[in-house]
Amino acid sequence: MLEIHSLTKLLPGGRVLFVDLSLSLAAGEYVAIMGESGVGKSTLLNLIAGLEAPDRGAISIAGQRISGLPDEAAARLRREKLGFVFQAFHLLPHLTLLQNVRVPLLLLGRDDPARATAMLAAVGLGERLGAYPRELSGGELQRVAIARALVHRPALLLADEPTGNLDPETAREILQLLHAEIRANGTTAILVTHSLQAAASADRVLELTPAGLRPRPSAP
Ligand SMILES: Nc1ncnc2c1ncn2[C@@H]1O[C@H](COP(=O)(O)OP(=O)(O)OP(=O)(O)O)[C@@H](O)[C@H]1O
Ligand SMILES: [Mg+2]
């Protein structure tokens, strides 16, 4: 479902972020990626989504190569296949919560207010449909971002620290929801997290280091 082959990313100034990084995920597989702050986890997700270009290497999603696609074709592939929970949320400030969560469906010509409402209810915001992002706490914004990433049942979910702003109990509930959604829809998922508890919900845990991506030894 996701094939990353020999990916190299350099930063401005020539610093090497990673070299020859490879990863292969089967359809429906759910992996967690951990690693120190600044090691390149968000950059890796941006590369997978085609939002940044690699210096070398190739990435394909569902057999279609995203690295090197023209912008318009990459945008179409993102719309059709991808759900992305950005570390900084990126909700649209002039739209209500319900409108924000409907955006992925509208872009696919499959508007479904009932599904969008159900997703917001599932993240505990069913009473706030008409609110605007500026009226929400960080944890509430994070939950809207999760509802938006899942609403159109994407083939590939990229979630960048999706529980980083939540208290432990809410984090646990949101991870359960995420897990149930990806299982029900056969979604392949990458969860970037600093939380061992969150990583434990994945099928396997990888660690990104300057030397590359490697399996993280499980805790005793
Ligand atoms: N446009 C840019 N120009 C220069 N450096 C950048 C740019 N984007 C990212 N970086 C650097 O690349 C490195 C990796 O950043 P990235 O956001 O991928 O890290 P991360 O692993 O997600 O960290 P965190 O856990 O803090 O979110 C950082 O050192 C960052 O400063
Ligand atoms: Mg990051």
- Percent of the chain residues past pLDDT 70, beyond the cut: 99
Q: What is the pLDDT of residues 178-199, one digit of tens each?
A: 999 999 999 999 999 999 989 9
Q: How confident is the model at residue 210 (pLDDT cuts 50, 70, 90)?
A: confident
What is d(CA 9, CA 21) in angstroms, rounded to the nearest whole number? 9
By alpha-carbon position, which residue is closest to atom 30 of ligand 1? 38
- The 3-state DSSP class for residue 107 equals helix
What structural domains does the chain harbor?
A: 2-215 (3.40.50.300)
Instruction: Out of 8, 10, 39, give the residue to mutate to test ligand 1, the one with the largest number of ligand atoms within 8 Å of its CB.
Output: 39
Q: What is the pLDDT of residues 43-89, one digit of tens each?
A: 999 999 999 999 999 999 999 999 888 889 999 999 999 999 988 88
86 phi and psi angles, rounded to 5 deg: -75, 145
Which pLDDT value is given to residue 51? 92
CA 69 to chain centre: 20
- Cβ atoms of 47 and 7 within 8 Å: the answer is yes
Q: How many CA atoms lie within 13 A of 175 on its CB side?
A: 26
By alpha-carbon position, which residue is closest to atom 26 of ligand 1? 37
Q: Which two tokens stand for residue 159?
A: 């979630």
CA 95 to chain centre: 21
Is 37 a pocket residue for ligand 1 (Cβ < 6 Å)?
A: yes
By alpha-carbon position, which residue is closest to atom 13 of ligand 1? 38
Task: Report CA(42)–ligand 1 centroid distance (Å).
Answer: 7
Q: Smallest Cα–Cα separation from 171: which of 149, 206, 138, 128?
A: 138
Tokens 């002039």 belong to residue: 94
Which 8-state DSSP code applies to residue 134? Answer: G
What is d(CA 17, CA 75) in angstroms, rounded to the nearest whole number? 25
Q: Which residues sit with Cβ closer than 5 angstroms to ligand 2, an ion?
A: 41-42, 87
Q: What is the pLDDT of residues 135-167, one digit of tens each?
A: 999 899 999 999 999 999 999 999 999 998 888
